[in-house]
Structure 1
Amino acid sequence: MPTRPSAAAKRERQPFGRWFLGSSLYSLTLGYNTPRSFFAVAADSWPGDPVLGQRLLQAGEFAAAGSVGTVLPDSDDPPWQRPGAAPLWLDALNGFAWLRDLRDNGDPHGAMLAARLVDDWTNREWRWSPVTWKRDVLAARMVAWIRHYEWLASAADPGFAARFVFSLGRQRVHLRRVARRGMVGHEAVAVYKAMIFADLAFIRDGKHFEKSLDQTLGRLAKFVKRYVLHDGIVAERAPHLQLAVLRHLIDVRAALASAERRAPAELVAAIDRMAPMLRFFRHGDGGLSLFNGTWEGDRRLIDLVLARSGSGEVAPTMALASGFQRLSAGTSLVIADAGSPPGRGMDGIAHAGTLSFEMSAAHERLIVNCGTYPGAPRDFQHFMRYTAAHSTAVVDDVNSTEITNHGALEYRAGNVLIDRADDGGAQWLDMCHDGYRSLYGIIHRRRLWLSPDGGDLRGEDSFLGYEGRPVTVPDQRYIVRFHLHPTVKATLAQSGQAVLMRLPSGRGWRLRATGAGIGLAESIYLGEEGRVRRTEQIVLVGQVPAEGTTVKWALTRMEG
C-alpha cells in the first residue's frame, strides 16, 4: 500500500523545495484556471460541541488537544502559524472542524465569526506553508469549508463566495499534486475524500472535474479494497482509526448521494464490513478498547456512525485477518489482540501489545491496556507503546516487538498462532507468539477460558523453548501484567496470595495465581482524552528456567 512520494510531496521535505512551494511563483500556479462556480455538497450533519463554540464566540478562545489559545479575526497576533503553539492545536485550528462547534452553539453571531475567520485565513495563508498546508490538515479544512458553505455564506458579505471559491480551488490544486503518491493508511482515505468533495463542489464548472472525480473514486475504491482487510478491520489495527475511516467513507457515500451519484461497490462493501468490526471493539460501556494508540472515544459519535452506516450486523466473535478475538458470556466481555503487529507503513502508532487483553463486566471496565490519546505528553505516548503498558506478559523488560527511534516497528512478534473452541457454552482461546525467540529462545503462550456464565476467566501464561527445546537464555524475569481501570479499587488479600477488586457498582472480582508471586504496582491510564489518571496493576512475577515455566491465574466474580 505505501507508494513512492510525488514530486510535490518530495518538495515538502526538502529545503529548496519548501522555499519554492512557499514562493510567489508557486502560488501563481495554484490560481491557474480557478473555478468560478460552486455547488453545495452534503451539508455537515455531525454534532459539534456547543460549549466549545460558546467559548470561541464569547472569549475568543480555541481549545483543542489539551491546549488553549486566542483566535480573533484581523488580529495583530494571527493564530494560524503562531510560534510556540502546540502542533496538534495548530492542526486542529487549521483543519476547521470546529466550524460545527460554532454552528451548533445556536447563536447567529457564530456564522458571522466563522465567515470572518475563514476570510482571515484566506487573506493570511494564501501561500503554501508546512503548517497550514500540511496534507492531512489541508484535506480536513477543504471538507469542513465545503460542508459548511451555505451556513457561512448566510452571514457573510456579497463578495465572500468569490473569495471562498478562489481559495478552495487553489487548495484543491495543491492537494491533487501532493496526493499522487506516498499516501498510506487512514490519511489516504481522508485525502481522497477531500478531493471527491471538491470535485463534486466544482462539477458544474466543466467536464474537467467530471474526469477528476471518476479518477479519484477509482483510486479510493482500489485503495479501500486493500486497506480494509477481509475481516473488516483497517490495516493499522487501531479501533479509533476504524471509527475515523468508517466515518470518512460514510461521508463520501452521503456526498455522492446528494449529487445523485452511486458510490463504488468497493466503498459500499467496505462500509458493510467495517461497521460490525467497530461494534466488535466496543466495551460494555460503549467506548472503544485500547489497542494500538486508541482511547475510549465519544460514545455518542460511535452510536451515530454505526447508525449512519446502515448496518445492523452484530459484532462477530473473531477477526480472522487481523487476529483479534472476542469472548462474551453473561455480562463479561474479553477482547484480545491475537494478531501480528501492523506491517511497514502502517505501524507509525502501533503498540507492542501482542496477546494483551481487556475485560469489562456489564458497563464497567476491569482489565485494560494503558491506551493513549491525541495531545498526551510526548514521553507518555512513547512509553504507552511498550509491551509493559499492556495486559500481557513481558520478558526481561523487553518489548515483544521492537519500537525504533523513528517510531516504526522492527523484529515484530511473529508466528502468532490462534486456536479457538467452544465447549458447552465455555469458550477457549489458545494463542502464542515468538517475539522473544531471537533474544532468549522463548515462546510466549497464553490460554484463556471463559465460563458459560461469564463469572470465571482463567488463564495460563507459559514461557517455553522453541519446539520443545530448552530456553537458550534461561533465568530471565517475566512479569504478567493486569492493568486496572482507574475506577477499580484493588487490595491484596489472603496473606498476599490474591487480589480483591471492587468496581464502582460494588461488584467484586478476585484474582488468584499459582506458579508466580503476586503483587500490586502503580500504573497510569490514558484512555480518556485529555486526562492522565493514576491507577494500579496486578503483577505476577517469576523467572524462566531452561525447561520453561507456566503461571496459572483465575479471575473470578465474587457473589454478594
Structure 2
Amino acid sequence: MAGSRPVRSSAAQAPGLTDKLARWGRTLLASPLRLLTLGHRTPGSFFAVAPDGWPGNAVAGQRLLSGSFLAFGESGPILLGDQDPPWQRSGASPLWIAALNGFAWLRDLRDCGDPSGVALAVHLVDDWMGREGRFFSGASWQRDVLATRIVEWIRHYDWLSSAADPGFAGRFVQSLGRQRLHLKRVSRTGLAGHEAVAVLKAQIFADLAFLREGKGFEKSLDQAVLRLSRFVKRYVLHDGVVAERAPHLQLAVLRHLLDVRAALISAERRPTAEIVAAIDRLAPMLRFFRHGDGGLALFNGTWEGDRATIDLVLARSGSAEAAPAMALASGFQRLAAGTSLVIADAGSPPGRGTDAQAHAGTLSFEMSAAHERLIVNCGVYPGAPREWRHFMRFTAAHSTAVVDDTNSSEITEHGALEYRAGNVLVDRAEDQGAQWLDMSHDGYRSLFGIIHRRRLWLSPDGGDLRGEEMFTGHEGRPVTIPDKRFIVRFHLHPAVKATLAQSGQAVLMRLPSGRGWKLRASGAGIGLAESIYLGEEGRQRRTEQIVLVGQIPAEGIAIKWALTRMEG
C-alpha cells in the first residue's frame, strides 16, 4: 500500500409516580436527598428524564452475567479482586477500558432476560464509585468516556434503583454531581467534531437531572443547549453531512441529537430550531450512505455498522425524506439505476480539527448490486489493530488511483492530514436516464505536477458502469515528473469471487447470488492482487483487488474501463 507523502452506579420512586407517566417517557425519581458537600453546588436531588429506549444485546448481557466483558474484539473479566479491578485492568487495551468505564453495556444487562442482571449492574456501579469516583484522572475520566457514563447512568437510574439498597441513592447522586462538575470544567475549551456533540449532550442530561436544585442549573442548562445549537449549526454541513465526512459518525451524531431532543421534550422543553434542523438534515444523508445491504459505505474510518440500529435511528428521526443524489457541501455523489448503486467521494478531505481519523481516499467509489456489495474501500472497524487503522487510511486502501505509491493527502505522524487534495472538482449530468460524474483532484500536483481526473457513467438500467482515469499536467502543461507508476484499484468485497479471463484482458466477478460482472480496460495492464477487508466489526477478511497498472508519460495518459453485468 502507498506510503506517506515524502517529507514535505438507587432511590425509591417519587410518591405518585404512575405507569402512565412512565409511558410518556418522563420519570420523577427520588425524594430530595441530603448529601455531604464535596464542592460547590453539589446537587441534593435528582430528576431522571427520558429513560433509555435503545435496545440492548441479550447475548452480551448474558456474557456479562458470566463475568466477562467483550468490546472491540477483546474479552476480559469484570469481577476481579482488589489487586486488579476491572476499571483499569492491567493489560487491557485503551478501547476496552474506555468501553467498560462508559457503561453503555448497562442496556445489555437490562435486556438480557435474567432478573439477576440488575443486581450485577448495581454492584458494578457501586464498585466503580468506590474505586474510581474519588479521582479525576485516568482513562475512566477521559472527556468522551465521562460523557458517555453520565448519560448512561441517568438513563438507567430507574432500573438501577429497583434493586439497590437504601444508601445507593445518596452515593449515586453524589458521584453523578461530581462527574457533572468535572465534565463542565474540562469542556470549557477544546471541543471539536463529534466529541463536542457527545459532551454537550451529557451536560444537557446532567443539568436536566438536577434542574430542581435551583436557578444555577437552569442557567447551566440554557447555556449547554445554546452551545450545542450553535455548534451543530456549523458542524452539520448545509448538505447534512457531518464535518468529519464519515458515515459512522453521521449515525452517531444523529443518535446523540435524537437523545437530546427526547430528553428536552421529556422535561417539557422545546428543542431549539437548530437541533431540529440538524436532525432533519442528518437523516436523509444517513440514507444516502447506505448500500443495498442496509450497511454503511466505507469512507473515512467507517465500517458497515449494525443494520437494525441504523433502521431504528432513521425511524426515530421522524424524517421520511429520501436520500438525495448529491451532497454539494461535502462533495459526495450517488448514482442509482436499476439495482446498481455507486457512492463516490468527490469532495475535499475534512478540515483541520476534524481530520484526525480522515482517510486519503479522494475520488474513491463503492458499488453495490441489489443487496450485495461489489466494489468497496477496505474500511476499518473500531478496535482494529493500530497498524491496520493506520494503513487503512492510505489511498491504496481505497478504490481509486495511486501515483508513485504515494497518498493523495499526506497522513502525518500526529494523524492529521497535510498537503491534502484540496482542489477537488466535480460536475454531474444526466441524459436520458444515464448519469455522469466528472471529478478531479490536485493531490499529486505539488509532487509530480499531476492532476487525477476520473469520469464515471452509469447506464439507465444500472448494468453498465464505465470509467475513465486521466493523469495529466496542470492546465494542459506537461507532467512535471513523468514516468511515475500509477495503480487504479478496485477492491472487491470478500464475498466476490474473481478470475482473470480473456487471456488476462478482463476480470470476471461472481457474487453470492450467482450474478456475474465483468471488468475490462484499455490503456493499462490489468491484474488481480491480494487485499484485506476490515468493514465488518471484529473481522479481518482476505479479499482481492483488481488493479490497472501503467506509467504516466509527460504528455499524460487516459485509461478506460468498463464494468458490465453479465446476463444469464
Please state which band the TM-score falls in when normalised by the shorter chain. over 0.9
Superposition pairs of residues 58-457 of structure 1, within 5 angstroms: 59-72=66-79, 75-125=82-132, 126-457=134-465
Counterpart of 2:519?
511
Question: What are the superposed Cα offsets for residues 12-39 of structure 1, whole Å, 9 maximum, x if unpaired?
Answer: xxxxxxxxxxxxxxxx996333111111
Matches of 1:496 and 1:73, distance apart in 2: 59
Shift of residue 544 of structure 1? 0.2
Count the aligned residue pairs. 532
Matches of 1:334 and 1:94, distance apart in 2: 39
Question: Which has the larger displacement, 61-70 or 354-363?
Answer: 61-70
Question: What are the superposed Cα offsets for residues 160-195 of structure 1, whole Å, 9 maximum, x if unpaired?
Answer: 111100000000000000111001000000000000
Matches of 1:207 and 1:50, distance apart in 2: 41
Matches of 2:283 and 2:130, distance apart in 1: 41
SS in 1 for 2:526: strand
Shift of residue 434 of structure 1? 0.3
Counterpart of 1:12?
none
Coordinate RMSD, CA, aligned: 1.0
Question: Which has the larger displacement, 126-135 or 484-493?
Answer: 126-135
Question: What are the superposed Cα offsets for residues 60-81 of structure 1, whole Å, 9 maximum, x if unpaired?
Answer: 0000011111102765431101
- What TM-score do the two structures reach when normalised by structure 1? 0.94
The one-letter amino acid paired with 1:61 is: S
Question: What are the superposed Cα offsets for residues 488-541 of structure 1, whole Å, 9 maximum, x if unpaired?
Answer: 000000000000000000000000000000000000000000000000000000
Shift of residue 130 of structure 1? 2.2
Superposition pairs of residues 477-516 of structure 1, within 5 angstroms: 477-516=485-524
Task: Verify: 1:529 aligned to 2:537, yes or no.
Answer: yes
Question: What are the superposed Cα offsets for residues 187-230 of structure 1, whole Å, 9 maximum, x if unpaired?
Answer: 00000000000000100111111000000000000000010000
- What TM-score do the two structures reach when normalised by structure 2? 0.93
Shift of residue 107 of structure 1? 1.1
1:552 to 528, 547, 560: 560
Shift of residue 427 of structure 1? 0.0
Matches of 1:67 and 1:135, distance apart in 2: 22
Matches of 2:260 and 2:250, distance apart in 1: 16
Matches of 1:209 and 1:517, distance apart in 2: 67
Matches of 1:31 and 1:522, distance apart in 2: 59
The one-letter amino acid paired with 1:538 is: I
SS in 2 for 1:212: helix
Matches of 1:275 and 1:261, distance apart in 2: 22
Task: Verify: 1:33 aligned to 2:35, yes or no.
Answer: no
Residues 87 and 30 (structure 1), Cα distance of their counterparts in 2 relative to 1, 3 Å cut: farther
Q: Does the Cα contact within 8 Å between 2:241 and 2:330 map onto a contact in 1?
A: yes
The one-letter amino acid paired with 1:514 is: S
Superposition pairs of residues 40-51 of structure 1, within 5 angstroms: 40-51=48-59
Task: Verify: 1:462 aligned to 2:470, yes or no.
Answer: yes
Percent identity for Structure 1 against Structure 2: 80
Counterpart of 1:19?
none
Matches of 2:76 and 2:52, distance apart in 1: 25
Matches of 1:443 and 1:513, distance apart in 2: 20
Residues 145 and 513 (structure 1), Cα distance of their counterparts in 2 relative to 1, 3 Å cut: same
Unaligned runs of 5+ in 1: 1-27
Counterpart of 1:16?
none
Q: Does the Cα contact within 8 Å between 2:247 and 2:298 map onto a contact in 1?
A: yes
Matches of 2:383 and 2:159, distance apart in 1: 30
Matches of 1:518 and 1:414, distance apart in 2: 30
SS in 1 for 2:41: coil
Matches of 1:401 and 1:248, distance apart in 2: 31
SS in 1 for 2:299: coil
Counterpart of 1:472?
480
